[in-house]
Structure 1
Amino acid sequence: MPGPVNSVSMIRFAESVVHPTDFSSSSHTAFVHGLAIALLNRTRFDILHVGDKTDRGWTRFPAVRGTLESWGLLEPGSEQAAVFDEFSVNVKKVRLVGDPARETLDYIRKSEPDLLVLATEGRRGLARWLVPSIGQDIARRSRTMTLFVSEGGAGFVSAEKGRLSLRRILIPIDRSPDASEAIIKAVRLAEAVGDAPVEISVLHVGSGAFPDYRRPEGEFWRWGEIRRTGDVDDEIISVADLIAADLIVMATDGRNGVLDGFRGSFTERVVRRTARPVLAVPAPT
């Protein structure tokens, strides 16, 4: 059951965002979510592509200024510096050569972003470079909060207008892993971008007492609890569909890094099966 905690003051949800792209349509959906979050938080936004030596990838990078112009946030033909001058967003486009998984995860380890924004391939599963065959020693180096965005799914950022709509968040919890950081991140995102008051539903699947957790109070969100029995990932997806969740926030085992803890977990199975955005937050160590 919930315990009292002081209200959370306005703190930026993320201070640095990295979006790896393979220039696919699914990556574009993730790109607009990463860009919108970077704009909202006035933060660094790195767009990363890993290819081979023959890949002329620079011309294929998503156009940040063009996107902001189409959203009506910049005048057509704006100078390159306008993105930073107007929004204090430092955009960096990075092109690397080598194995996409290894180079991407090494870049994450070195740059230490607060948020990684990844595309998934709709209901078919994860982006190609997240398959379990990738060396888990690399994944262990990253403890990065990760937003998984599905191509054609019900995201919370409009690709056409850049409009954010976050009205309902679902947080599945259990006694392990610790969901305290996931709850804090959900609240900060609700405070930053939500259509107040955001409905935050805490879900527990299982018998026995509802797990203890602490929930911040504030004017921009309100809490609810849902209990279900049955298969965990089935119930998470069912409840998310029932309440039309705009975002599912899940704690992952953070001891060995979010991607390592992600593989084979309830979070991975939910991401594979839902078209809704999923935010994976490493549990405190």
Structure 2
Amino acid sequence: MSRQLLVPVDGSPLSKRALEYALDEEGSISVIALHVIDPSDPGYSSATDVDVRNEPPHGSREWYQRAAEEEERIFDEARELAADYDADLSTDSAIGEPAREIVDYAEDNDIDQIVVGGHGRIGTARMLLGSVAEIVVRRSPVSVTVVR
């Protein structure tokens, strides 16, 4: 029986590192790359630098279309990385607050482990910026590996 690993991806170097970690796991595994589009994030929930002054109005149909295009770019990169490891990769997406969607996905889809990239912020920066990884670690129903 294969273990299912969930890797949240946003196109950042840290999410790529987490995906590499998961793809490098030994044994029978299934890796699912999950991208969460956060409707409150004007930058399409990706690590791409976006000048929101030149983009469609936040929350518009065009904005969601652009977010979907950005998501497909992220998934294409994840598939290319999986091919480098000669590994199978599934992709899925959700819309909502990222930490909540990641935890809900793990609960609803028989996930065995979550592998997430974490910035390792401390102190005031963590309090002000929050941390998806930290929230996932606290609320996850399964083991979480944080990759830095």
Q: TM-score range by the shorter chain?
A: 0.5 to 0.7
Distance 1:145 1:131 in 2: 13
Distance 2:34 2:114 in 1: 11
| Aligned CA distance change for structure 1 residues 114 and 131 (closer, same or farther; 3 Å) | closer
Alpha-carbon deviation of 1:23? 1.6
* Contact 2:4 2:31 survives alignment (8 Å): yes
Which amino acid counterpart does residue 120 of structure 1 have in structure 2? G
Distance 2:134 2:145 in 1: 17
* Contact 1:112 1:144 survives alignment (8 Å): no
Alpha-carbon deviation of 1:131? 5.0
- What residue number does 2:67 align with? 55
Distance 1:23 1:55 in 2: 13
Q: List aligned pairs for 1:1-285, cutoff 5 A.
A: 15-37=3-25, 40-51=26-37, 52=39, 53=64, 54-56=66-68, 57-61=71-75, 63-70=77-84, 73=86, 83=87, 89=88, 91-121=89-119, 123-125=120-122, 128-131=131-134, 139=139, 142-150=140-148
Alpha-carbon deviation of 1:68? 4.8
SS of structure 2 residue aligned to 1:41? coil
**Could you list the per-position Cα deviations for residues 126-152 of structure 1 after superposition, in whole angstroms to 9, with x for gaps in the alignment?**
7832456x9x7xx2xx331111110xx
Distance 2:35 2:109 in 1: 15
| Aligned CA distance change for structure 1 residues 119 and 92 (closer, same or farther; 3 Å) | same
Alpha-carbon deviation of 1:62? 5.4
SS of structure 1 residue aligned to 2:67? coil
Largest Rg, 1 or 2: 1
- The share of aligned pairs that are identical, in percent, is 20
Q: How many residue pairs are counted as aligned between the two chains?
A: 113
Distance 1:112 1:69 in 2: 24
Alpha-carbon deviation of 1:64? 4.7
* Contact 1:101 1:130 survives alignment (8 Å): yes
RMSD, aligned α-carbons: 2.8
Distance 1:70 1:131 in 2: 29
TM-score normalised to the size of structure 2? 0.62
- What residue number does 2:54 align with? none
| Aligned CA distance change for structure 1 residues 26 and 146 (closer, same or farther; 3 Å) | same
Structure 1: any 5+ residue segments left out of the alignment? 1-11, 74-82, 84-88, 151-285
Alpha-carbon deviation of 1:98? 1.2
SS of structure 1 residue aligned to 2:24? helix
| Aligned CA distance change for structure 1 residues 65 and 107 (closer, same or farther; 3 Å) | closer
| Aligned CA distance change for structure 1 residues 68 and 44 (closer, same or farther; 3 Å) | closer
Which amino acid counterpart does residue 26 of structure 1 have in structure 2? L
Distance 2:142 2:13 in 1: 24
* Contact 1:21 1:27 survives alignment (8 Å): yes
| Aligned CA distance change for structure 1 residues 118 and 69 (closer, same or farther; 3 Å) | closer
| Aligned CA distance change for structure 1 residues 28 and 64 (closer, same or farther; 3 Å) | closer
TM-score normalised to the size of structure 1? 0.35
* Contact 2:103 2:141 survives alignment (8 Å): no
